[in-house]
Amino acid sequence: SLSQKRWATKRSGGSTKNGRDSHSKRLGLKKYGGQSVIPGNILVRQRGTEFHAGPNVGMGRDHTLYALTPGHVHFYK
């Protein structure tokens, strides 16, 4: 007697909904309390104003905080 074997007529395709990821944005503190800075040094990269600009600190349009004058970093509430 002949036994018959059947195969899937359509091979299963790979999963197309997986396999994507975004690059990390490298957010967060770039300078810490007590560190010395010069004008233009980036202090914080952030989304929204998690940290607010104090005296001698500027804010970019992406909410990045940067030093306006030379000095030392000081965080306060």
**Span 10-67, pLDDT tens digits:** 777 767 788 899 999 999 999 999 999 999 999 999 999 999 999 999 999 999 999 9
For residues 43 and 35, is the Cβ–Cβ distance under 8 A?
no
- In this prediction the pTM is 0.76
What are 66's two structure tokens?
Answer: 């940067």
Q: Measured between alpha carbons, how far is 76 from 51 in angstroms, rounded to an integer?
A: 10
For residues 57 and 67, is the Cβ–Cβ distance under 8 A?
yes
How confident is the model at residue 1, as a pLDDT?
67
The domains of the chain are located at 33-72
How confident is the model at residue 21, as a pLDDT?
95
Band (pLDDT 50/70/90 cuts) for residue 8 is: confident
pLDDT at residue 6 above 90? no
Q: Which of 76, 55, 58 is nearest to 66 (CA)?
A: 58
CATH assignment of 33-72, among 2.40.50.100, 3.30.70.2740, 2.30.38.10, 2.60.120.330: 2.40.50.100
